[in-house]
Structure 1
Amino acid sequence: MSIFKSGEQPPSWCELMGFEFVELTEQPRTIPVVAKKQRLLVTRGSCQLSSAKGTQVLAEGQFWDMDEANGPFIADPGHRPAQILILSGRWGSELGGCGVFRLTPSTPIAVKGDPVSYPKSTNFDSHYHDCDEYWVIIEGAGTVVVGSRSFEVEGGDCVAIGMGHHHDLPQVRSDIKAAYFETTLEGKKRFGHLWEYKHGPADVRAERV
């Protein structure tokens, strides 16, 4: 697991190689395609995305995969400001989920997720994936646990989580809003949150730098 910010170099194993928040005002904005793989995710408000394929209105949590052949891409928020997140990298064609989640302090649900030994004040579950996952913290602050390690995160941090590593967000200091992106599915290629008590042992990829 590693934490990096926009403009910083991620670890060499990461399929997500960069990310950037773009604030949209009332004027349409051209979004260049800078990588072989690039995804636009709406993180606040909505926007109309235009390209050679036509136009599509995207709301918060919805995304669009951009390729240079269908550019240029123009994002228009209409009459209200919006925010988009541009994700770029080298992921494959079989992917997990992507969207936006929110988390506030709440009473933990004992039967949700694999059991843990650390204190929790959220109902987020300890789980793993058959893919790498990336959390980009949009707002708020809290504690992330990956395997046996814990880290404090805040807005602007990207948490890179290797395939098969249990991860959790057990503590929230300030209400969290974050984007998540599960990249190339591997092994059994199951999607969603996986738990050892239900789905069996995780296929843990060795720690990488």
Structure 2
Amino acid sequence: MRAVVFDLDGTLIDSAPDIWQAANAVLTEEGLPLVSFEQSRGFIGRGARVFVERMELAVAGVNDPTRTDHLHTRFLHFYERAHENTRIYPYVAEALERLRSDGVRLGLCTNKPFAPTAAVLKHLHWADFFEAVIGGDSLPVSKPDPAPLLEVVGRMGLRLPEIAYIGDSETDSETAQRAGARFGLYTEGYRKAAPEALFHNFLFNDYRHLSDRLAQLN
């Protein structure tokens, strides 16, 4: 295996508290009811636009295209600055360093828009950590369409059999399955369904075990 491509939110970092604060900042600004943390967490996974649509539907009961566009724009404004409460999952940093020391190349494929992705990577001092980074708005389509994952692999000059994809959600599982990629499911993220119900090659709940699980794929 020459490379590992990671999802970001719910896989490497827990950004749900900051996403929740960004959501409620927009709703407060617009005089709309606020959402709970659990509601907000449940909206994550299909990109910022879908997040806003779900949020709007929850508080207003209907999606109005003009309002959705405005809410989306304002959400992105807050989202790019929302880092204060974002945390790296336990042992992620050590796992990434171990992979790099073993000569494994790293890529990133997320549905987080590219600007907030770049901002949080800079905040975490990971700006130069990943060879290729695709955000949710980098292409005309986003996950679970396989195109973003395939784009990362292509930009790294690799083929699918040479990589493994790591994610935490139904969206990531479907992306890997549709792409024909080997997939490791991190079970401590934003998944809703039982992990056994999702496509995967292996499950793990502790990044101290990731290198060993990847080695077993070989």
- Return the TM-score normalized by structure 2: 0.27
- Return the TM-score normalized by structure 1: 0.28
Q: Which has the higher contact order (CA 8 A, sep 6+)?
A: 2
